[in-house]
């Protein structure tokens, strides 16, 4: 059995979201961890890359800001 974690993030630095701590807390129990990084206006992607773990796979995503109302963009 393989355990895979997943999260999505955008503008983590701007909003002071503890994404590094969140990923580091779950990484020991995962075989792979996928991070969908939205089109951030800060260095969020660099922050994720700085974790420098072979378990982390980054997927670059584009968020449609017209779907922000009601969290629709997160559902996609």
More confident residue, 12 or 71: 12
Each residue of 8-18: pLDDT tens digit? Answer: 999 999 999 99
Between CA 62 and CA 51 the distance in angstroms is 22
pTM: 0.86
Each residue of 18-56: pLDDT tens digit? Answer: 999 999 999 999 999 999 999 999 999 999 999 999 999
Tokens 């059995």: give the residue: 1
* Extents of the domains making up the chain: 4-69
**What per-residue confidence (pLDDT) applies to 67?**
73
Tokens 């701007």: give the residue: 14
């Amino acid at each position: 059995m393989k355990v895979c974690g997943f999260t999505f993030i955008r503008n983590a630095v701007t909003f002071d979201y503890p994404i590094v701590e969140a990923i580091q807390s779950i990484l020991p129990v995962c075989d792979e961890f996928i991070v969908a990084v939205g089109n951030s206006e800060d260095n969020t992607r660099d922050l994720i890359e700085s974790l420098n773990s072979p378990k982390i796979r980054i997927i670059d995503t584009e968020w449609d800001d017209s779907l922000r109302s009601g969290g629709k963009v997160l559902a996609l």
